[in-house]
Amino acid sequence: MPHTAVPASELTARLNELRRVMSATHPDWKMILLDNKIDLYYFTGTMQEGALVITPDEAALFVRHSYECAVRDSRFPDIRPLGSFRGIASAFLEIPETVYVAARTMTLQKLTMLQKYLPFAPSPIDGILSGLRSVKSEYELDCMRHAGKIHAKVLETVAPALLRPGLSEARLCAEICTSMLDHGAMCISRYNQPAAEDVLGFSSFSENSLLPAALDGPSGTVGTCIAMKSVGSTERLLRGGDTVLLDIPCGWRGYHTDKSITFYFGDLDENPKADLIRAAHEQAVALEKLTAELMRPGAVPAEIYAKVLEAVEPTFRDGFMNGCKFLGHSIGLTMDESPVLAKGFNEPLETGMTIAVEPKIALPGIGLIGTENTYEVVADGPAKSLTGACETGLEINY
């Protein structure tokens, strides 16, 4: 059964908007060359090895592997096989002195290969590309809404029923991701970096949720090994009195949502620090709700971040976000899009932006307590959660 292609009208609209923004910011631009698979998918609807060349009048996707797959999957009108980058030089006889590229993801090796046949000076347009992707179309929002429904069902309904004594962190993560796959999720998370991987997200029990992970975020994990700080430990087994942190992304048709949920496995009243754990969870829920209320069109991310920091109760300020200097991150085709709810992000929010809000509190000797949901900035009212509730049950009795 063939997969559903990105509509041709969607691809055309994205190219037209890119050309419009380029003409407004770089009036003399003549060529853009993109090689990152995420950029190729955004503009052409297929994710291949190759290069997309865009001029004010033309746009051609050159595919090294697999041309047949690209033609089958994509509604992009001009797809050409690529033997080497010499083929681009043959197709575009006048290569301008400056060619605009995605500098963050183009490697020096790829640039050297390109310049062997295309003598140009690269100029970055990462800000333009991220700006285009920050505001989602209705098609993109529908993809994320669908991912969010899967996310809410699996983490809020399926995951609690999976908890049992003796279950390893890694096995729990795998069982949750299997359930997501059964519901149609793509079960991979991608980042806007040359080399970044977090295939499944992770589950962490108690003290392991406080450990630094490979990614810049508050949630921690010991990982499967030193070389893989993800999924979770195969040796750390669930026992009564553990906190359980699930920080597992979900995605559909290339688009991600992010969600975290915290459980306490056992009778919380038997824990001498029950009041602290409950208070931390209630604080995280309150901060997520406050953030959603503040996320409206025209609001400034840096100001939202400052207001939420002021609202953190003194008891939890030292452990808030486990040392990270942000509160939430934009999300879409990659997990780490812009803007971010943090200092320095002063461009106002717009309708159609999607942001994962993740207030978390580190409790030494206990674990990381917190929430996370992905929100859509809407025209009227507070931001709308795509991934379910933040006020979920904390205790899982066994």
361 and 221 in a common domain: yes
- What tokens does 278 get? 């409950």
Q: At residue 194, does pLDDT exceed 70?
A: no
In a domain, 237, yes or no: yes
In a domain, 319, yes or no: yes
In a domain, 2, yes or no: no
Q: Encode burial over 303-339: b for 16+ CB neighbours within 10 A, e otherwise.
A: ebbeebeeebeeebeebbbbeeebbbbbbbbbbbbbb
CA-closest candidate to residue 213, choices 374, 324, 104: 324
Are the C-beta atoms of residues 251 and 186 closer than 8 Å to each other? Answer: yes
State the pLDDT at residue 398.
86
Separation between Cα atoms, residue 249 and residue 190, nearest integer Å:
10
State the pLDDT at residue 130.
96
Separation between Cα atoms, residue 308 and residue 328, nearest integer Å:
11
Separation between Cα atoms, residue 280 and residue 362, nearest integer Å:
9
The amino acid that residue 122 corresponds to is: P
DSSP letter for 157, please.
I
141 and 64 in a common domain: no
Are the C-beta atoms of residues 366 and 205 closer than 8 Å to each other? Answer: no
247 and 172 in a common domain: yes
Separation between Cα atoms, residue 293 and residue 362, nearest integer Å:
24
Are the C-beta atoms of residues 202 and 233 closer than 8 Å to each other? Answer: no
pLDDT in tens, 7-49: 999 999 999 999 999 999 999 999 999 999 999 999 999 999 9
170 and 73 in a common domain: no
State the pLDDT at residue 191.
86
In a domain, 321, yes or no: yes
- Domain of 94: which CATH number? 3.40.350.10
State the pLDDT at residue 199.
67
Q: How many residues does this entry show for the chain? A: 398
Domain that holds residue 55: 8-132
DSSP letter for 353, please.
B
Residue ending a domain, choose from 132, 155, 187 = 132
In a domain, 266, yes or no: yes
pLDDT in tens, 304-321: 999 999 999 999 999 999
The SS3 call for residue 390 is coil
pLDDT in tens, 70-114: 999 999 999 999 999 999 999 999 999 999 999 999 989 999 999
139 and 127 in a common domain: no
Residue ending a domain, choose from 132, 158, 178 = 132
Residue ending a domain, choose from 132, 155, 173 = 132
Are the C-beta atoms of residues 173 and 201 closer than 8 Å to each other? Answer: yes
146 and 37 in a common domain: no
Report the alpha-carbon angle 143-200-326, nearest 5.
Answer: 75
As for how many domains the chain has, the answer is 2
24 and 92 in a common domain: yes
- What tokens does 165 get? 């004594």
327 and 198 in a common domain: yes
The contacts found for 107-111 with CB under 8 angstroms, 24 or more apart, are: 107/194, 110/35
- Domain of 364: which CATH number? 3.90.230.10
175 and 85 in a common domain: no
231 phi and psi angles, rounded to 5 deg: 70, -65
158 and 279 in a common domain: yes
Residue 198 pLDDT level (bands cut at 50, 70, 90): low
Share of residues in the chain with pLDDT > 90 (%): 91
In a domain, 3, yes or no: no
212 and 113 in a common domain: no
In a domain, 1, yes or no: no
94 and 31 in a common domain: yes
Report, as an integer, the average pLDDT of 269-277. 98
In a domain, 62, yes or no: yes
Q: At residue 2, does pLDDT exceed 80?
A: no
Q: At residue 185, does pLDDT exceed 80?
A: yes
